[in-house]
Amino acid sequence: METSQSISLAQNLYCAEQLQRSEARAGELAGYSLGQLMSLAGRSVFEELERIVSVGASIAICCGEGNNGGDGYIVARLAHQAGYKVSLYALNAKAELKQTSHEPAVQARRACRELGLEERPLTDCTANDYDLIVDAVFGIGLSRPVEGALAEWVRALNKSRVPVLAIDVPTGINADSGCIMGEAIVAQVTVTMIAYKRGLFTGASPGHVGRIVLADLGAGKYFERLEQPAWRRVTENPYSWLGDRVAHSHKGTHGHVLIVGAGPGMPGAAILAMVAALRAGAGKVSVACHPSNVGIIASQQPEAMVHGVEAPEQLNHLLNAATSLVVGPGLGRDEWGYKIYQACMAVNTCKVIDADGLYWLAQDPVHSSQLILTPHPGEAARLLKCNTRDIEANRFEHALSLHNQYHAQIVLKGAGSLISSTRGNWLIDRGSPAMASGGMGDCLAGLIGALVAQGLAPAQALTAGVYWHAVAGEVAGSKAPRGTLASDLMPIIRKLVNGWIPE
């Protein structure tokens, strides 16, 4: 992501309604009319265009009817005057313009016509004829699914693989939720105006927006004063929360994590959580598992303590000794798993609940700020008694619902993970497609449990854990994303919790 703006502007995320309500006023406070603001927007997009293709390149500029289209017409004029080969396409080609209209978008369109730039129907644009496509069709104004001939055009454009420069938000992406509305353009670069729209960073959006450039148009700081963001991005390394270790510390100083899971035949998840907790700096790590798994788990990491637990009462001394619990990795959905889950939930120790722990929580709910829940969309759907499609259609709303319903610290995992916690609502737009493999969630649960054990508050541990887990995934998968394993993250996590910042 690129921005030259303040930390707060880089962090703050807004919904479309806020931009529509206050962007003109922010421009006024900055000393600009709406027309001048549109000219600045067009200029910002044109400057990005110049970085992508050289003068003389063939460019198709595709414009809608609103202000987003107005930005596109300004780009078309600037590109034409600079010597680019410009073809202009419009959603409503050759529409009659009122000569008395002073709307900036109409004036920008009229200026293009006066230069002899002929408008053709949008769906006549054949992407392969051009070096670059500029998408100025809908922006934040999209209110209905992209269907019919327009959807066919979007599919053909994406299939062509011609680079696309999107203005504000790629056509077909919901600016508030990040979901696809029918069909959506895949852009290589998105230049977004004044402030970040929250939907650019989560859901399906990360696969469509490409590199994001924030053009605040000189109005961003004024917009911040007018509108409060409900969500913020995590943009700074949270190492200061942990800090350096004191010279006289010992293993007891840094907490005791108890991993509870590994039902019959399922040792792997608990092993990954165990190793992550050790590498993240927990002073001591124990595993409570089904007796059949003791040997295999103990053989994986001699530094951990592994206990076979046949019945819930055998957990008591382990639960009393633990600083934090990680409940669920490989726990199972049988009677043994449920009884072990119940025993864990009966103590007041801070708990990270993942995997089968979330399954049992949905059946037998508990509400506490001492719970840290780490669901993926399918698990979130079970917790909220809906379906996965509902979750992905509005990830922000459902992350808040999980927090409010369970009174817990929540991360809704996925591209653009969402954290709803007592520290506020945060989005982490780090991570990599390399992380699309089994065991990543177990690694995250162990990492968070270790951070709690070392003294971070539950909401802090969740935020730091999700951030470092995502960065570790980026580093592990940077050169060879396919085949990246959760265990590949372990040495990187060790470096991150010691203050390392990747270049």
Residue with structure tokens 């990680």?
326
Residue 186 CA to residue 421 CA, distance in Å, equals 32
Q: Where in the chain is the domain with CATH 3.40.1190.20?
A: 255-392+428-496
Which pair of structure tokens corresponds to residue 496? 């991150």
- How many other CB atoms are there within 10 angstroms of residue 255's CB atom? 23
Residue 41 CA to residue 214 CA, distance in Å, equals 10
Binding-site annotation: residue ranges for (6S)-NADPHX: 67-71, 139-145, 168, 269, 330, 376, 442
Residue 340 CA to residue 331 CA, distance in Å, equals 8
- The residue ranking higher by pLDDT, 102 or 167, is 167
Q: Hey, is 390 helix, strand or coil?
A: helix
- Which residues does residue 379 pair with via DSSP β-bridges, in sequence order? none
Q: What is the pLDDT of residues 190-240, one digit of tens each?
A: 999 999 999 999 999 999 999 999 999 999 999 999 999 999 999 999 999
Task: Report the pLDDT averaged over residues 149-172.
Answer: 97
Q: What is the pLDDT of residues 11-65, one digit of tens each?
A: 999 999 999 999 999 999 999 999 999 999 999 999 999 999 999 999 999 999 9
Give how far Cα 297 sits from Cα of 154, 304, 317, 498, Å. Answer: 51, 9, 20, 26
Binding-site annotation: residue ranges for AMP: 413-417, 441
Global pTM value: 0.95
Q: What is the pLDDT of residues 180-192, one digit of tens each?
A: 999 999 999 999 9
Task: Report the pLDDT averaged over residues 130-136.
Answer: 98
Q: What is the pLDDT of residues 290-317, one digit of tens each?
A: 999 999 999 999 999 999 999 999 999 9
Residue 82 CA to residue 256 CA, distance in Å, equals 65
Angle (deg, nearest 10), helices 440-453 and 458-476? 140
- The residue ranking higher by pLDDT, 96 or 346, is 346
Q: Which ranges constitute the DSSP H helices of 235-351? A: 239-242, 268-279, 294-300, 316-321, 335-345
Residue with structure tokens 């592990």?
476
Q: Where in the chain is the domain with CATH 3.40.50.10260?
A: 7-233
Q: What is the pLDDT of residues 57-100, one digit of tens each?
A: 999 999 999 999 999 999 999 999 999 999 999 999 988 887 66
Which pair of structure tokens corresponds to residue 443? 């690694």
Asked if 280 contacts 301 with a C-beta cutoff of 8 angstroms, the reply is no
Rounded percentage of the chain residues whose pLDDT exceeds 70: 98
Residue 486 CA to residue 473 CA, distance in Å, equals 8
- The residue ranking higher by pLDDT, 165 or 142, is 165
Q: What is the pLDDT of residues 276-295, one digit of tens each?
A: 999 999 999 999 999 999 99
CATH architecture entry for 255-392+428-496: 3-Layer(aba) Sandwich (3.40)
Q: Is the pLDDT of residue 491 over 90?
A: yes
Residue 471 CA to residue 68 CA, distance in Å, equals 34
User: What pLDDT score does 1 carry?
Assistant: 35
Residue 146 CA to residue 153 CA, distance in Å, equals 10
Binding-site annotation: residue ranges for K(+): 68, 135, 171
User: What pLDDT score does 149 carry?
Assistant: 96
Task: Report the pLDDT averaged over residues 449-474.
Answer: 98
Q: Is the pLDDT of residue 476 over 90?
A: yes
User: What pLDDT score does 326 carry?
Assistant: 98
Residues contacting 63, CB < 8 A, separation 6+: 69, 70, 72, 73, 76, 88, 89, 90, 91, 109, 122, 136, 137
- For residue 397, the one-letter residue type is E
Residue 461 CA to residue 440 CA, distance in Å, equals 17
User: What pLDDT score does 100 carry?
Assistant: 62
Q: Hey, is 70 helix, strand or coil?
A: helix
Tell the CATH superfamily of the 7-233 domain: YjeF N-terminal domain (3.40.50.10260)
Binding-site annotation: residue ranges: 67-71, 135, 139-145, 168, 171, 269, 330, 376, 413-417, 441-442
Q: Is the pLDDT of residue 3 over 50?
A: no
Task: Report the pLDDT averaged over residues 100-112.
Answer: 89
Give how far Cα 157 sits from Cα of 62, 64, 466, Å. Answer: 12, 16, 35
Buried b (16+ CB within 10 A) or exposed e, 415-429: bbbbbbbeeebbbbb
